Structure 1
Amino acid sequence: MEKISTKTELPEYSESIVNTVREPLIVMDQHLRVITASRSFYDFFRAEPKDTIGKLIYNLGNNQWDIPKLRDLLETILPQKTSFDGYKVEHDFTTIGWRTMLLNARQIEHSQSKDHIILLSIEDITERNAIQEGLVKANKELEILTKDLGRAAQVKSEFLANMSHELRTPLNSINGFSEVLYDETFGPLNDKQKQYVKNVLVSGNHLLLLINEILDMAKVEAGKMTLSISELPIQEILYEITGLIKDTANKKNLKMIIDISKDLKNIQADSLKIKQVLYNLLSNAIKFTPDGGEIGIKATQTDTEIQIVLWDTGIGIALENIEKIFEGFFRIETPYSRVTEGTGLGLPIAKKLVELHGGKLKVESEGNEKGTSVQITLPIKHTTTVIRDENKNSHS
């Protein structure tokens, strides 16, 4: 069988080029016998030159290279196309195990002898292929998990909304009848009876607050919380809310500092939702500020925003809890939290309501016993294009 001379076809500089190639490379004659191979080939496939040079490629490594797909490439595809890239071959080698390879082949005609030589480069993509397959599998599993979580969250929100709605009707009756009894509308009560009725009424009102907050949270998470936008005189609203909590602050001997800029522009917002946010935040400031402390509110404006800061000199928040306070039902364990009522939903709801208006809510504290500052930014003009009054479409 005729054999191309290595010296004739591959001079020294060509040998150097072959050995410079990073990927395993085999050079064969037209009869598919190996003329030379790169160092990377020997290293990767754990082969020796004496067992490689002059051998038919299919006979290499005790016939390890007798691969049907490789035969198809070299004997059928390459003679017709003279070159081929990215030909995927998978094979289990006795020396290096299962491998996934991409083969690039070139058939070159010698200018003088008209003989052909074949260049075959081998790119091992076993790990890359495994990673890609793993990523594809992980992505599919993640998609399924995301859908499952979405459905679970939707079911949870709908359950909480329905449950809260169903609970409010009998609870309103309990609270209403308790008020009638406490007011002694149908006759006097002795001291013990009146105290018991008062306990029922206080507990009922607390439970109603909890149910309302759960309902609000469920609506927001389910995307069912809508806004009834109107022109809102924010300056009047701020004075109205501070007036509502003034008596509560006085009972704890708290000094209230009010700094509201004159001539604040009206904003486009939902009046009930904004009042709910401001009242809850100021109530929190009073609740978590010891007797004799200070609370305050400051309001300023830019051309496009109203900026409101509500602050206190109360118990503060540890730095590691700043983000946690926006998680539903999270309450910081302090001596005050053990004696004050609350669901842990006030701040998350306030934040979501502000964001629903296109604004931002941020909480800052330098640590325990160092007070808290809540910063609210509200756009003067609301940008939502479709607004409907949820009170007109709700039976809750």
Structure 2
Amino acid sequence: MTPSIIDLFNRLTDGLAVIATDGAVRFANEGIRKLMPIVLGETFPHASIAANIDQACAGHLNLPHRFETDFVFDHHIATPDRLEVHLVRSPAGNDLVVVVRNLTESSLYETTIANLSALIDNALAAPLVQFSEQLSDLVADTSEPTLGPIALLARRERLVLQGLDITRQLKALAGIAQLSAGRPILGEDRIILESWLDETLSRHDAKAKSRSQRLLLQSATGLLPTVYGSTYWLGMALDACIDNAICHSGHGTDIALSACGIGNYVRITLRNQGYGLQPALLRRRLANPLMRGKAASDERPGLGLGLPLARKVVELHGGRLVLEQELDGFVTCIIELPAGTSPLPSQDMNVAQAQRYANDLVRLLSDRNTAAAERASS
């Protein structure tokens, strides 16, 4: 195949592969390599497509042949993508040509807009109207009191909680829009975990108390390593995880937040008594509802953007976020972030920043050496 033909195929938006008569892949353009892990000389890495290729090579299919199939990425946690596949005979020789189009991706814009409209209508329209009406009533009661001081204070507290819930959802919606637009989020903030975790947890005290829940910050064993990144975005991510734990825990339960250093990472763990979700539903909570085939209307109140946004933010900081269902009914949210190093390229670091990073690394190594010496002497 000439370089000009290869360049032409790589310019196609659809995936294209050339298959030899023995079923092995002879050529794969960039479009199909982005879609699935193609290896030249091996069979097609999709069971349904590979089966159709075998049938075509054996002469049991009339070409050209078109069919549709599902495809689930290794990291895909939402509805499987729908693929449209065409098998045609190569114009030169006996090879097969496979053309694959991702129907889900091609309709992503329309699906996203439709889901966004449905989510806002289902999750925000009624709360906004209710909040507006109750705010007007509160203003009227303040100017011409019809309630006693205690009842008026209780109404104000309920209204504040409603306003905070709406604000968090709008903030998450803005975050999704900013990330989708390609806004860079990595920063050079030096995050001291002990104080940062305490401050973040305290922001949710009022909501937890309204549900008779306790937010517990468990003390770390030894010094925690420093994390570098965007305080704003990582704070939004942790806020979403805590808010999810509060909303999906029973009244009167405890929610525990802890952190520890593991190798070159710091692990933040949030543990709460959940509702016994199945693994598929746990994965769904991390899936961006804007990317699903259809917006769900039977979810608990909220846009459902918090955890997907948190997962994206953590991944953009070089970490990972997972939910785990334990046998005793507890749900554990785990955030792992690289520690002791800056996310910025070295050319963006000034001398003062480099000194801070070096000091943090020295402190971390010193703490580990002390712990190792204590273990050796015991």
TM-score (ref. length: structure 1): 0.48
* In structure 2, distance between residues paired with 1:218 and 1:319: 28
**Percent identity over paired residues:** 19
One-letter identity of the residue aligned with 1:215: A
**Paired position in structure 2 for 1:224:** 183
* In structure 1, distance between residues paired with 2:335 and 2:259: 9
**Paired position in structure 1 for 2:37:** none
Q: Secondary structure at the match of 1:350?
A: helix
**Could you tell me how far 1:350 is from its partner in structure 2?**
0.6
Where in structure 1 are there 5+ consecutive unaligned residues?
1-97, 100-125, 331-336, 388-396
* In structure 2, distance between residues paired with 1:128 and 1:221: 39
Are residues 1:282 and 2:242 paired? yes
**Paired position in structure 1 for 2:255:** 295
Contact map agreement 1:357 1:382 (CA 8 A) in 2 = no
Contact map agreement 2:314 2:321 (CA 8 A) in 1 = yes
Contact map agreement 2:218 2:256 (CA 8 A) in 1 = yes
* In structure 2, distance between residues paired with 1:339 and 1:360: 25
Are residues 1:188 and 2:144 paired? yes
Instruction: Label 1:312 to 1:177 Cα distance change in 2 as closer, same or farther (>3 A).
Output: closer
* In structure 1, distance between residues paired with 2:200 and 2:157: 27
Paired residues for 1:61-72 under 5 Å: none
**Could you tell me how far 1:257 is from its partner in structure 2?**
5.5
**Paired position in structure 2 for 1:319:** 279
Are residues 1:376 and 2:332 paired? no
* In structure 1, distance between residues paired with 2:106 and 2:299: 39
**Paired position in structure 1 for 2:225:** 265
Q: Secondary structure at the match of 1:259?
A: coil
Paired residues for 1:334-345 under 5 Å: 341-345=301-305
**Paired position in structure 1 for 2:212:** 252
Instruction: Label 1:318 to 1:259 Cα distance change in 2 as closer, same or farther (>3 A).
Output: farther
Contact map agreement 1:178 1:198 (CA 8 A) in 2 = no
Instruction: Label 1:205 to 1:189 Cα distance change in 2 as closer, same or farther (>3 A).
Output: farther
**Could you tell me how far 1:383 is from its partner in structure 2?**
2.9
Are residues 1:353 and 2:309 paired? no
Contact map agreement 2:187 2:343 (CA 8 A) in 1 = no
One-letter identity of the residue aligned with 1:282: I
Contact map agreement 1:297 1:310 (CA 8 A) in 2 = yes
Contact map agreement 2:188 2:229 (CA 8 A) in 1 = yes
Contact map agreement 2:188 2:344 (CA 8 A) in 1 = no
Contact map agreement 2:249 2:272 (CA 8 A) in 1 = yes
Q: Whose relative contact order is higher, 1 or 2, with alpha carbons under 8 Å and at least 6 apart?
A: 2
**Could you tell me how far 1:247 is from its partner in structure 2?**
4.7
**Could you tell me how far 1:200 is from its partner in structure 2?**
8.3
Q: Secondary structure at the match of 1:372?
A: strand
**Could you tell me how far 1:146 is from its partner in structure 2?**
8.5
**Paired position in structure 1 for 2:172:** 213
Contact map agreement 1:310 1:373 (CA 8 A) in 2 = yes
One-letter identity of the residue aligned with 1:222: A
How many residues were matched structurally? 244
* In structure 2, distance between residues paired with 1:149 and 1:224: 23
One-letter identity of the residue aligned with 2:143: G
Contact map agreement 1:358 1:382 (CA 8 A) in 2 = no
Q: Secondary structure at the match of 2:318?
A: coil
What RMSD in Å do the two structures reach over aligned CA positions?
Answer: 4.9
* In structure 2, distance between residues paired with 1:244 and 1:197: 17
* In structure 2, distance between residues paired with 1:156 and 1:211: 16
Query: 1:275-329: CA deviations, max 9, x gaps?
Result: 2222221222222221332321221113521111111122132122232222223
Q: Which structure is larger by alpha-carbon Rg, 1 or 2?
A: 1
* In structure 2, distance between residues paired with 1:382 and 1:146: 37
One-letter identity of the residue aligned with 1:273: W
* In structure 2, distance between residues paired with 1:295 and 1:128: 61
Contact map agreement 2:213 2:253 (CA 8 A) in 1 = yes
Instruction: Label 1:318 to 1:350 Cα distance change in 2 as closer, same or farther (>3 A).
Output: same
* In structure 1, distance between residues paired with 2:207 and 2:232: 21
**Paired position in structure 2 for 1:242:** 201
One-letter identity of the residue aligned with 1:232: I
